[in-house]
Amino acid sequence: MAVIIGDTCINCAACIDECPVEAIVDEDDNPTGEEYYYVYPDKCVECVDHFDTPACAEACPTEGCITWDMPFTADHKDHFAGGNYIDGEDYVLADADAIMPTRDDISLEDRAARVNVVED
């Protein structure tokens, strides 16, 4: 993974039941304490082997709310650790060898820039 939900989320719930791996939680269960929905990066599979595109973003009515994030792999461990992960402070990559499915056609540059998953 992953995709990430930003602070423009309006808590509409359109995404949560679309996720094939139950990676999304609502504002009450957001581990960061923010009052909007959250994607667990260690659960999100970018919908690989499920759909052609991320189902959550396709369902989301808020433009730019769901963006790409870095792949959840050991190569990007530092990105998800501690304060470096701005939307998940103290998040720790529990399994340093974790290799979550990721879409190779999305560049690391676009991921770092948090480009919208659904383009205009």
The footprint of ligand SF4 (CB under 6 A) covers 3, 5, 9-15, 18-21, 23-24, 37, 39, 44-47, 54-56, 59-60, 62, 65-66
* Residue from 113, 109, 106, 107 nearest 47 by CA: 106
**Of the two residues 12 and 112, which places its CB atom closer to ligand SF4 in the complex?**
12
For the CB of residue 40, give the shortest distance to ligand SF4 in the complex, in Å: 8
On whether the CB atoms of residues 3 and 54 are closer than 8 A, the answer is: yes
The two tokens of residue 65 are 């709310």
**Of the two residues 49 and 109, which places its CB atom closer to ligand SF4 in the complex?**
49
CA angle 48-5-69, nearest 5°?
Answer: 55
For the CB of residue 27, give the shortest distance to ligand SF4 in the complex, in Å: 8
